[in-house]
Chains A and B, each alone.
Chain A
Amino acid sequence: MGLSRREFLKRTAALTAASYVGINLPFKNENTSQASDADSWHKGTCRLCGSGCRLELGVKNGKAVALRGIPDSRTNYGYLCMKGMLFYKLMGYNNPDRLKKPLYRKSKKEPFKEISWNEALNIAAKEFAKAVKKHGNNSVAYYGSGQALTEETYIFQKVFRGGLRTNNVEGNPRLCMASAVGGYLTSFGADEPIGSYTNFERASCFFIIGSNMAEAHPVLFRRVMRRKLDNRETVKVINADPRVSPTSRIADLHLQFRPGTDLALLNAMAYVIVKEKLYDETFLKNYATFRMGKKKEVSFEKYKEFLKDYTPEKVSDICGGNITPEKIRTAALWFAKSEGTMSIWTMGINQRKRGVWANNLIHNLHILTGQLCRPGADSFSLTGQPNACGGVREGGGLCHILPGHRLVKKDKLRHQVEKLWGIPQGRIPPKPGYHTIAMFEAVNQGKIKAIWINCTSPAQSLPNCDKYRKGMSREDVFMVVTDIFPTKTTELANLILPTAFHFEKTGVYGCTERRSQLTVKAVDAPGEAKPEVWIVREWALKLAKELKDPVIKKCVEPFLGKEPDYELPKAIWDEYTQKLTKGRDNDLRGATYDVLKKLPDGVQWPAPTKEWALKGGTDIKFVRGLDPLADKHAKDQKPYQFYGPAHPDKKLWVWLRPQRGPEEMPDFEYPFYLSTGRVIDQWHTSSMTGRIPELMRANPYAYVEINPKDAKKLGIKPGDMVEVASRRGKNILPAKVYVGPCEGMVFVYWYDQEESRMINRVTKDAFDPGSKEPEFKICACKIRKVSGPKPLKPFLVEMKT
């Protein structure tokens, strides 16, 4: 007799889980008479962080009904987190809040009215054309997202640069990983990590700094945790952070330093490594030079001299917190002596006034000790969004870079792109456009007259956001927003265009480890929502007519007549990979849609041929025999070849970078450090996770975390309403009294859309002079109790038509 359907599904669930850890269960589900649990299974990538977890969506009668991880996938080995488990609730008609029709209003004071796609695209074309004719090409801008598919970012930037002749092409990755890009380019000569997630299972020492990966990247954290628990005596975990977080639970050593003293701490570890002769002399001799200032080469002796200001004794005083000279020595010793050390960081390092320098100083430790290119040894920046690396860093989604890691300002590279696109030489302007903060400053000043914001919510995610919301509210700034839900940014738009969500369209995401993965459409988008690639193509055709400019049409000509669900994105991917990545360090020519579909988890670049791509691509860059480009570019017999485009000497650079504090230090009037971050189950501006009731209920509103010692001094009890005020704005939030932040520091989650709990009204918009990434992580604030606990409600923007 057959099992009941419930029993069948439960057994399927148990067998799937057991297969991940190699546990044998005493039953099988084969040969049962039951119908399968879904009509079809569709491979894709989770959309709700930068890990790139692979999963299959089960579709029955055209509806998404089940999710399962893909056990063969080298990103997640089948595991998913709660966000990943529930994101089907945003698909198709599963969510009543989805945007389903184009909406327009001439004035931002009016309510929105539903209009047709034809009308909507006509309006968008006329407004952009009007701005160009009256105010010039740099009066228009695109602001995109690390969540857009590569095909989307690529076609948007192509139309803006080649068609509208502006490099005002930016995206929210400027807010999260620009400092990591700057760090990789200046230290290693090439963007993106050298190694891969495979190092999680090979490392003997983890140095986790400025990352709460247990909450922000839970599936990857699981791998680190498993490695530690399976090798408790031999694997060491160091967690360096001003805040004790769930990530600290597995740490052997927690370095709790005062915010903004990270550069000193890293230099002190280097001091110990040099002083105790823990460095790898041969590695340094073969592969490294020392640099200071812009890029002046200096000697090892000069570096030693520089480090004298960073003895553990001096630095423990600078760092405060729980830092002692002994802890610094222990950390340096474990780092240098382990068989493979892997550093892991995210926004705690990147979102700093000197984020690039902080990145350099982590890389320094790896170069000094030779902890690179061998199993378990890597300097690895985790990315926050699913396609910040693939779409934006590689696809040309920032104002200074063109597709294939080309700099706008290099004439030769710019002309290469013009030639590959078949447009006249000189069409792309030689000057980079506005970076994010400068772009929204230009909106404030009325220099930008028409802006297209795609798949992101700068009205909430920019630091000191009230300042920039003023510009976005201007009546003389025409704003188009493409998104799936109402957000704080759609509230300021003239035109809202509803888009298809993940699994409702086709395209590629490139995750943290240089891995490109394809998701093919599996369910229909609700209402009239459309894929962005279709929207841009149709808009460009209308724009070409308005401006009487055939070159705009030329930009989308290769894509005319293609159906939008598969053929169109495929044609865009083919152009990008076959033409634009050819001969570049992110060569993806082997990673065609057909190849990507064959693999459980996609391809890591460089992957210049299909044969190489079918093997999964390149696990570790720069190693001869493992990286085809290392063999191709080899200039000698050494095993490592650092062929990155940014370093003419083909060496790794150890940087002399001094300690620098934050832009704004606590003082008498504003005595606390304010830092912001994430909480598990909510993501970024909660525009998606907030629409999933289970996730919203788990974290219905933001808190301010206060150290118990500070709370006692100020008479604040758990749940009390507390005002957090800076020179820019204030919030009133319930207090969480908790040994998380160190004394003198408070921490607020930034997802909440409710005005009085939106912490970016308080944060500071200072930015790194190199990467232009804002210093979200540190500013000065004051706190006071306003009242006892009050009942609070969760809040999400509603669409009023």
Chain B
Amino acid sequence: MPIGGFIVNVHPDHLENSIRDLKKISGLEVYGSDEKGNVVVVLEADSSKAMEEMVEKIMKIENVLSVGLTYFNVEDEIEIQEEQGKKTIH
């Protein structure tokens, strides 16, 4: 269950509409924003893959200019991968 903290940059002239669109994405929470178009967003997903898909959805929202990752935690996903990795030794 990865958790990511992001700054989403939206066009400052369309801040409110953009936040409304962002909030439609399930697993996304908006924690704050400012007049420059910086929006603090936390994503919670079932897998890194699902989070990547959420980021793609965000990128497609009109007036979203960039998605910047600032924090990423994957502690439970790693354990599963490590077990898989140990099984294959070349």
Chain A CB within 8 A of B87 CB: yes
Q: Which of A21, A24, A37, A114 has the most CB atoms of chain B within a 10 A radius of its CB? A: A21
A12 in contact with B5 (CB, 8 Å) = yes
A43 to chain B, nearest CB (A): 15
A32 within 8 A of partner (CB)? no
CA distance A69 to B11 in the complex (A): 24
The contact string, 1 if C-beta is below 8 Å from chain A, for chain B 50-90, is 01100110000000011011111111001101101111111
- Select from chain A the residue with minimum beta-carbon distance to B84: A96
Q: Which residues of A contact B75 (CB under 8 A)?
A: 37-38, 58, 60, 65-66
**B4 proximity list for chain A (CB < 8 A):** 13, 85
Q: Are B42 and A37 in contact (CB under 8 A)?
A: no
Contact partner, A527, options B1, B6, B89, Cβ 8 Å: B89
B40 touches which one: A17, A65, A799 (CB < 8 A)? A17
Q: Which residues of B contact A38 (CB under 8 A)?
A: 75
B45 to chain A, nearest CB (A): 11
- Tell me, yes or no, whether A84 is within 8 Å of chain B by CB: yes
Contact residues, B1-54 vs A (CB, 8 A) = 1, 3-7, 9, 11-12, 29, 31-34, 36-38, 40-42, 44, 48-49, 51-52
Q: Which of A269-277, A637-645, A691-699 contacts B (4 or more CB under 8 A)?
A: A691-699
Is A282 engaged at the interface, CB distance under 8 Å to the other chain? no
Complex formed: what's the CA distance from A74 to B48 in Å?
A: 28
State which of A13, A15, A24, A63 has its C-beta within 8 Å of the C-beta of B3: A13
Provide the residues of chain B in CB contact with A226, threshold 8 Å. Answer: 9
The answer, among B7, B56, B81, for a CB contact under 8 Å with A94, is B81
CB–CB A694/B48 < 8 A = yes
Cα–Cα, bound, A572→B3 (Å): 39
A13 to B2, CA, bound (A): 11
A420 on the B face (CB < 8 A): no
A58–B85 touching, CB < 8 Å: no
Does A566 touch B at the CB level, under 8 Å?
Answer: no
Shortest Cβ gap from B76 to chain A (Å)? 8
| Size of A's binding interface in residues, CB under 8 A | 69
Q: Cβ of B3 and Cβ of A10 under 8 Å apart?
A: yes
Stretch of A97-105, A444-452, A784-792 contacting B (4+ beta carbons < 8 Å): A97-105
List chain A residues, Cβ under 8 A from B41: 17
B63 CB to closest chain A CB, in angstroms?
11
A230 to B48, alpha carbons, bound, how many Å? Answer: 33
Question: Is the Cβ of B49 less than 8 Å from the Cβ of A21?
Answer: no
Q: Is A225 an interface residue (CB 8 A)?
A: yes
- Report the separation of the CA atoms of residues A801 and B89 in the bound assembly, to the nearest whole angstrom: 11
Inter-subunit contact B90/A79 (CB<8 Å)? no
User: Once the chains are docked, how many angstroms separate the CA of A16 from the CA of B72?
Assistant: 10
Min CB distance B61 to A, Å, is 14
Question: Contact between B65 and A225 (Cβ–Cβ < 8 Å)?
Answer: yes
Q: Complex: how many Å from CA A341 to CA B39?
A: 29
Bound-complex Cα distance A9 to B85 (A): 26
Q: Is the CB of B38 within 8 A of A21?
A: yes
Contact of B69 among A25, A82, A88, A96 (CB under 8 A): A82
Q: Report whether B71 and A93 are in contact in the complex, using a CB–CB cutoff of 8 Å.
A: no
A20-62 contacts to B, CB under 8 A, are 20-25, 37-38, 58, 60
Asked whether, in the complex, the Cβ of A23 is within 8 Å of the Cβ of B52, the reply is: no
Digitize A421-461: 1 where CB-to-B-CB distance is under 8 Å, 0 elsewhere.
Answer: 00000000000000000000000000000000000000000
A527 and B90 in contact, given A18-B31, A79-B68 (Cβ under 8 angstroms)? yes
Determine the distance from Cα of A498 to Cα of B86 in the docked complex, in whole angstroms.
Answer: 16
Q: How far is the CA of A13 from the CA of B41 in the complex (A)?
A: 9
Contact check, A698 vs B56: say whether CB atoms are below 8 A apart: yes
A78 and B70 contact, Cβ closer than 8 Å, known pairs A17-B31, A21-B38, A23-B34? yes
Question: Measured between alpha carbons, how far is A10 from B85 in the docked complex, in Å?
Answer: 28
Chain B neighbourhood of A9, CB < 8 A = 3, 73
A85 → chain B closest CB, angstroms: 5
- Known contacts A96-B88, A226-B9: does B71 contact A697 (CB below 8 Å)? no
A17 B5 Cβ-Cβ under 8 A: yes
Contact assessment for B73 and A85 in the assembled complex, using a CB-CB cutoff below 8 Å: no
Q: Are B33 and A17 in touch, CB under 8 angstroms?
A: no
A85 touches B31 (CB 8 A): no
- Other 6 A-B pairs with CB < 8 A, given A14-B42, A68-B70: A14-B32, A17-B71, A20-B70, A25-B40, A96-B88, A498-B90
**Chain A residues near B (Cβ < 8 Å):** 6, 9-10, 12-18, 20-25, 37-38, 58, 60, 63-69, 78-82, 84-86, 88-89, 92-101, 103, 114, 218-219, 221-222, 225-226, 229-230, 249-250, 498, 526-527, 693-695, 697-698, 799, 801
Q: List 21 A-B contacts (CB under 8 A).
A: A6-B3, A16-B71, A17-B5, A17-B42, A21-B36, A23-B33, A58-B73, A60-B75, A66-B74, A68-B70, A80-B72, A86-B52, A93-B82, A93-B85, A100-B90, A225-B9, A229-B65, A230-B36, A249-B65, A697-B49, A698-B52
Which are the 8 A-B pairs with shortest beta-carbon distances?
A: A13-B5, A93-B85, A17-B5, A65-B75, A16-B71, A694-B52, A14-B31, A21-B38
